[in-house]
């Protein structure tokens, strides 16, 4: 298996623009998680899905953030409009749900100028 695949690897955009991050989880994993990592706050869980259904989005910072999972093999995290304070590395992770082992993608480095 190729693991969790995220795209793009790097995204540079200007304040106010829409940003869409993409994730393909490991086949057969029923859980998908979106995390954000910064030096100051470490890893923060934004939202997670079970069988394509959002379960907990309490970590989504503002209404500017939204996430979807239209099918078992694809998820998006959208920021509209983006702000400089959104600059961070965004990780997608998936899990079988049998245990707490998470498998992370390589992340998207987002820079909002």
Partner 1 sequence: QKEVEQDPGPLSVPEGAIVSLNCTYSNSAFQYFMWYRQYSRKGPELLMYTYSSGNKEDGRFTAQVDKSSKYISLFIRDSQPSDSATYLCAMARGNFGNEKLTFGTGTRLTIIP
Binding site for partner 1 (CB under 8 A): 4, 30-31, 41-43, 45, 48, 50, 55-56, 59, 91, 93, 95, 97-107, 109
Q: How many CB atoms lie within 10 A of CB 70?
A: 9
Q: Please, which residue, 74 or 103, has the CB nearer to partner 1?
A: 103
In the chain, DSSP finds a helix count (H) and a strand count (E) of 0, 11
Q: Please, which residue, 16 or 75, has the CB nearer to partner 1?
A: 75
Decide if 103 contacts 26 (C-beta within 8 A). Answer: yes
Instruction: Specify the pairing of strand 42-50 against strand 31-38.
Output: antiparallel
Q: Please, which residue, 37 or 66, has the CB nearer to partner 1?
A: 37
Least spacing, CB of residue 16 vs partner 1, in Å = 27
Q: Please, which residue, 19 or 105, has the CB nearer to partner 1?
A: 105
Least spacing, CB of residue 95 vs partner 1, in Å = 7
Query: Tokens in use for 57?
Result: 């989005």
Rg, Å, the chain Cα set: 13
Least spacing, CB of residue 33 vs partner 1, in Å = 8
């Amino acid at each position: 298996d190729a693991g969790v695949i995220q795209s793009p690897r790097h995204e540079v955009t200007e304040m106010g623009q829409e940003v869409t991050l993409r994730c393909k989880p490991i086949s057969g994993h029923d859980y998908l998680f979106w995390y954000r990592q910064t030096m100051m706050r470490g890893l923060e869980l934004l939202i997670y899905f079970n069988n394509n259904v959002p379960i907990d989005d309490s970590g989504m910072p503002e209404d500017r953030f939204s996430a979807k999972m239209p099918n078992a093999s694809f998820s998006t995290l959208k920021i509209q409009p983006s702000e400089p304070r959104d600059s961070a590395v965004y990780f997608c992770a998936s899990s079988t749900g049998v245990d707490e082992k998470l498998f992370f993608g390589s992340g998207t480095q987002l820079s909002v100028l």
